[in-house]
Structure 1
Amino acid sequence: MHVPTLLALSAGSAVLASASPAPRGLPSVTLDQGTFTGAPAGLANKFLGIPFAQPPTGNLRFNLPVPNAPYTGAHDAGSFGPACPQQAAQLPVPPGIVSNVTQFIVETVTAVVTPFSEDCLTVNVWTPADVPAGAKLPVVVWIFGGGFEFGGTSMYDGGVIVSRSVEMGTPVVYVSMNYRLSAFGFLAGQEVKDAGVGNLGLQDQRQALRWVQQYIPAFGGDPTKVTIWGESAGAISVALQLLAHNGAAEGLFRGAFMQSGSPTPVGDVARGQADYDALVARTGCAPARDTLQCLRGVPFAALLAAVDASPSITSRQSLALAWMPRADGVFLADDPQVLVQQGRVADVPFVTGDCDDEGTIFALSNLNITTDTQLRAYLAEFFLPHASAAQLDTLLALYPADPAQGAPFGTGALDALSPQYKRLAALLGDLVFQAPRRFFAGERAGAQRVFAFLNKRLKATPGVGSAHGTDLLNVYGGGDMADYLIHFVVALDPNGPGLLSWPAYSAARPQLLTFLDGPVPLALSEDTFRAEGMSFVTELSLADPL
């Protein structure tokens, strides 16, 4: 079976190098006193691997990003720069599933990108090929996902979005950025909090957005018309950019589009102390008076090996990540869901949505959980360590062992890869994705314009259904979600000619634009499924954030 490719890994591996003046016919752009030569890409031109910050190496490792120096000289911008350091990941498809589609979905969600390097903070820009001088086009800024542990910009072809926007007669400029991942970008612990260097990956994203404000006019973009867009960890990042500095957008964006990611229930950065201490021990920094400074001097290969030895999203603890955004008192003042409750959210229109079976892929690493007792112990260990016995009883009653009520949803007794698989998949999907999305949309719908969606396509994918990440095929594969996205970037409203009308979300009528398989590809549905379960999950999460 042919699957539309999502990956567009570049053969180029070098970050910008000095080059002679642009050959005739190649696109070029002047930034400060530097000239950058890109490459044509159909209806678009692309400029790749442009540094937006100083290399985060040496004393800049585990430190806030420092803006790039003014550009000078001539540079080849025809190839992607390296990805940021990746944490090792492997989540094999169970041998009982024989499906190229399932394999493709799992490998895409857990894709480790090479080459990678600590010197990785670069942006990429795609523009319409015939963009006139002085044009002020809307801009969409993409933040990739990968569990905050892996992924990179070279996986995604921004030319698909720009070309489609040109075909629609509403051209846009596309930007993507790398940001530090895993412990390199999300180190946690009291030492990190005291030094004010939490959430460095989010800080990198913020610096890239500042770069857009300064330089996007040279590419024909309008810095006052920026929409931030992401999927998975990228969508969570977008949500957290809305909450940064107590909701101060700082003129960096005017809209947000989130696929499978909302403000997640996370606690203080000091809660990551155990993983920090383990990393310090593995690198030999434990005896040091200043362990954070010691980590800055550890050889890269040794530090990467120590990071790889820490739990990942494909480990047993799954979505209870070792390295993830947390409340640090600087970038994020509090638990993101508390910030939402308090209204400390950037006042911009946003789109938020999920896939129907978000938790399936993340339950694959726990097929050895086969009894109620084992599931209960697992949830208590990793996700709800302070929940009472009565609360766990209630949760398990709301998410019963009946396969017909588990994920993939609506598949009856099918896809029960182990006795507790579908139940755990339902719980993980609602804990981390569906319940936070409903909470976010419901809390904000009365205060700002909100649109919400549910992706139920590829439901027949063996074992995983409409899994996390499957909706990416509907944007980078040139589907109808790409059209909704482009309309939103242009007008802050996803509606446009030829598309099913998508109503704004409201507490009185919480409607979801629903993407379906079959002859009727789009419909409206009510965001009321698993109401009691998700309400209880949100209650538990607010009381006991990760």
Structure 2
Amino acid sequence: MLFSQPFLLLLGVYCSFVTASPLDRRAAPTVTLDTATVTGVASGLVNEWLGIPFALPPTGDLRFQLPQPIPPYNTSFSASAYGPACPQQPPTIPIPPGLASETLNYLTTTIYNAVTPSSEDLLQIMTAAQWIYGGGYETGGTSSYDGSVIVNKAIDLDVPAIYVSMNYRVTAFGFLASAEVQAAGVGNLGMQDQRQAMRWVQTYISAFGGDPTKVTIWGESAGAWSVGLHLVTNGGNPAGLFRAAFMESGSPIPIGDITNGQGYYDFLVAQTGCTGASDTLQCLREVPYDTLMNAINETPNVLSYQSLALAWLPRVDGVFLTADPQQLVLQGSVADVPFVTGDCDDEGTLFSLSTLNISTDAQLQTYLQTYWFPGAPDATIQQLLVDYPQDPTQGSPYNTGILNQLSPQFKRIASIQGDAAFQAPRRFFLQQRSGLQNTWAFLSQRLKSVPVLGSFHTSDLLNVYGGNDMTEYLVQFVTNLDPNGAGNLEWPQWTTSAPNLLTFLDGLIPQQLTQDTYRADAIAYMIDVNLNYTR
């Protein structure tokens, strides 16, 4: 095992570890945690420990409670298989008729493949880089991502790293929100799981040869949003839990008060028979798992009509988040660590397949005021519609002319959703932190030729987990706090005076430098709208 290795923290609730090994061992690797011997799996040049519990199972009366630290390990056990994923809310994928087979393949096998099995007994970890999976705070698990790809790339580059991933509670199990939840101090449990996993790493990573002072937190989609929230919580003090951050398709996002989730809470209470209970939160703790899960599955998911206006997500609870994350950024409540943040070119296409029935400006305005910007006056929405015209040549997937227009408003809605949830928060964050800390930014335009989807949300994962150039930039950043050094195109920092984007491309030229100035007026206005109207 290599020592003093920096590592990435990938968030999920069973911990799993992947470390470099000097040779292909026949004997299974072991590690001592407290007084227990934990046996892993040897695979090529890496050792893996899968499914190590890092907190007490959040079952029984611990459902809807803060994660409880696990007692010292005193019984030896095998960590040769992933633990179950957290309870999942599988999305219902909208598939319009006539889609190209390539698009169908990405939709059904690549983007949202089901994570099974799942269980409430889910807080376990896998070791390697510290990674936070995405899934719209509704799906995801450590077993979906092969961390050995990252570790093997680090070995190739002679910058060895440890990869750590962990489960965290999603859907209502992790993000129940209401006045009752706030009063009990149990909001944002999924985020608290992630934080507990980070504390576990500080205690135990040295047993695996890792350096607890060299943690990089890394995530994609909801995982990247989570990374952004860890940057702004606790007054911007990382409390020694990490020294750098890497965000794919996510930055600190605009979110509202925890009581904004009251309607979903009340729905679960009604559906589970808890309406007459004197303590509805305690009643929800006691209802059978299947009853609660069935009720959760009746709430909107990330690919439902309201899409990225998520039902289950972090909210301002006064504990983990004391204010809207973007307001915290304005207040300077940001961890002073180097970070990378970037997006795919066509973030919104995947999430706009469920809104093909919106065909007029009036319908689109109602949709935006209902789900995205509640309280926004008509004039504000009308200005957005000016900035994001119906002209298909200006919509997403971008630079595809009149192609991919599934409905009169599809490419327009895809552009609005992609900018509101991803591009505008990223650019806002970079603008606010320029000159205050080292920052790099990227844009992925790979797979641009995929019909309807273009360079869709999650397409960059095929690059980083494919062991390609993005993987090289990642492991260099984890090791040296600078993504450069692997022989790829030099990646300059992002500043307001030089907003450089490392742009990943298909074809003979794999990367080029571009400027982060596209849709300047539209995104500037979207930033302002995000700051004033939260969900």
TM-score (norm 1): 0.92
Q: For the residues of structure 2 that align with 1:108 and 1:204, how far apart are their CA atoms?
A: 27
Cα deviation digits, residues 115-142 of structure 1 (max 9, x gap):
000000000124xxxxxxxxxxxxx200
Between 140-149 and 379-388, the greater mean CA deviation after superposition: 379-388
Gaps of 5+ in 1: 1-13, 17-22, 127-139
Structure 1 residue 498: Cα displacement: 1.1
Gaps of 5+ in 2: 1-13, 17-24
Q: For the residues of structure 2 that align with 1:15 and 1:59, how far apart are their CA atoms?
A: 23
Structure 1 residue 88: Cα displacement: 2.8
Cα deviation digits, residues 448-475 of structure 1 (max 9, x gap):
1110000000000011000000000111
Conserved 8 A contact 1:39-1:46:
yes
Cα deviation digits, residues 312-371 of structure 1 (max 9, x gap):
111111000111001111001100000001110111000000000000000011111112
> 3-state SS of the aligned residue for 2:75?
strand
**Which residue is 2:97 aligned to?**
95
> 3-state SS of the aligned residue for 1:327?
coil
> 3-state SS of the aligned residue for 1:224?
strand
Structure 1 residue 73: Cα displacement: 2.0
C-alpha change, 1:449 and 1:108, in structure 2 (3 Å) is same
Of 47, 63, 66, the match for 2:65: 63
Structure 1 residue 100: Cα displacement: 3.0
Cα deviation digits, residues 489-519 of structure 1 (max 9, x gap):
0000000131111111101111100001111
**Which residue is 1:115 aligned to?**
117
Cα deviation digits, residues 128-174 of structure 1 (max 9, x gap):
xxxxxxxxxxxx20000000000111000010000110011111000
**Which residue is 1:33 aligned to?**
35
Q: For the residues of structure 2 that align with 1:88 and 1:497, how far apart are their CA atoms?
A: 38
Count of residues paired in the alignment = 514
> 3-state SS of the aligned residue for 2:460?
helix
**Which residue is 2:286 aligned to?**
297
Aligned-partner residue type, residue 389 of structure 1: D
**Which residue is 2:11 aligned to?**
none
Conserved 8 A contact 1:143-1:237:
yes
Conserved 8 A contact 2:157-2:486:
no
**Which residue is 1:176 aligned to?**
165
Structure 1 residue 105: Cα displacement: 4.5
**Which residue is 1:225 aligned to?**
214
> 3-state SS of the aligned residue for 2:354?
helix
Q: For the residues of structure 2 that align with 1:493 and 1:331, how far apart are their CA atoms?
A: 29
Cα deviation digits, residues 5-64 of structure 1 (max 9, x gap):
xxxxxxxxx999xxxxxx971111110111111111221110000000000011110010
> 3-state SS of the aligned residue for 1:114?
coil
Q: For the residues of structure 1 that align with 2:98 and 2:359, how far apart are their CA atoms?
A: 17
Give yes or no for the alignment of 1:199 onto 2:201: no
Between 311-320 and 108-117, the greater mean CA deviation after superposition: 108-117
Of 484, 487, 495, the match for 2:484: 495
Conserved 8 A contact 2:472-2:486:
no
Structure 1 residue 223: Cα displacement: 0.2
Aligned-partner residue type, residue 79 of structure 1: A
Of 463, 466, 476, the match for 2:465: 476
**Which residue is 1:362 aligned to?**
351
TM-score (norm 2): 0.94
Q: For the residues of structure 2 that align with 1:327 and 1:247, how far apart are their CA atoms?
A: 15
Q: For the residues of structure 1 that align with 2:247 and 2:326, how far apart are their CA atoms?
A: 16
Structure 1 residue 106: Cα displacement: 5.4
Aligned-partner residue type, residue 399 of structure 1: Y
Give yes or no for the alignment of 1:453 onto 2:442: yes
Q: For the residues of structure 2 that align with 1:265 and 1:154, how far apart are their CA atoms?
A: 30
> 3-state SS of the aligned residue for 1:528?
coil
Q: For the residues of structure 2 that align with 1:169 and 1:94, how far apart are their CA atoms?
A: 47
Conserved 8 A contact 1:111-1:150:
no
Cα deviation digits, residues 357-386 of structure 1 (max 9, x gap):
000000011111112121111111101121
Conserved 8 A contact 1:109-1:146:
no
Q: For the residues of structure 2 that align with 1:320 and 1:15, how far apart are their CA atoms?
A: 30
Conserved 8 A contact 1:105-1:469:
no
Structure 1 residue 76: Cα displacement: 1.1
Give yes or no for the alignment of 1:76 onto 2:78: yes
Cα deviation digits, residues 88-124 of structure 1 (max 9, x gap):
3121432211223543245433333110000000001
Mapping of 1:6-17 within 5 angstroms? none
Aligned-partner residue type, residue 123 of structure 2: L
Identity of paired residues, percent? 57
Q: Which runs of 4+ in 1 moved over 4 A?
A: none
Mapping of 1:313-352 within 5 angstroms? 313-352=302-341
**Which residue is 1:211 aligned to?**
200
**Which residue is 1:162 aligned to?**
151
> 3-state SS of the aligned residue for 2:158?
coil
**Which residue is 2:3 aligned to?**
none
Of 510, 516, 534, the match for 1:521: 510
Conserved 8 A contact 2:15-2:164:
no
Cα deviation digits, residues 211-239 of structure 1 (max 9, x gap):
11000001010000000000000000011
> 3-state SS of the aligned residue for 2:385?
helix
Of 283, 292, 297, the match for 1:308: 297
Task: Give the alignment's Cα RMSD to 1 decimal.
Answer: 1.4
Q: For the residues of structure 1 that align with 2:172 and 2:231, how far apart are their CA atoms?
A: 23
Q: For the residues of structure 1 that align with 2:387 and 2:284, how far apart are their CA atoms?
A: 45
C-alpha change, 1:153 and 1:144, in structure 2 (3 Å) is same
Q: For the residues of structure 2 that align with 1:151 and 1:108, how far apart are their CA atoms?
A: 13
> 3-state SS of the aligned residue for 1:46?
strand
Conserved 8 A contact 1:37-1:75:
yes
> 3-state SS of the aligned residue for 1:175?
strand
**Which residue is 2:9 aligned to?**
none
Give yes or no for the alignment of 1:375 onto 2:364: yes
> 3-state SS of the aligned residue for 2:76?
strand
Q: For the residues of structure 2 that align with 1:142 and 1:267, how far apart are their CA atoms?
A: 26
**Which residue is 2:475 aligned to?**
486
Conserved 8 A contact 2:476-2:486:
no
Q: For the residues of structure 1 that align with 2:391 and 2:252, how far apart are their CA atoms?
A: 30
Q: For the residues of structure 2 that align with 1:544 and 1:450, how far apart are their CA atoms?
A: 27
Of 52, 56, 66, the match for 1:50: 52
Cα deviation digits, residues 424-456 of structure 1 (max 9, x gap):
000000000000000001101221111000000
Conserved 8 A contact 2:50-2:82:
yes
Q: For the residues of structure 2 that align with 1:171 and 1:74, how far apart are their CA atoms?
A: 28
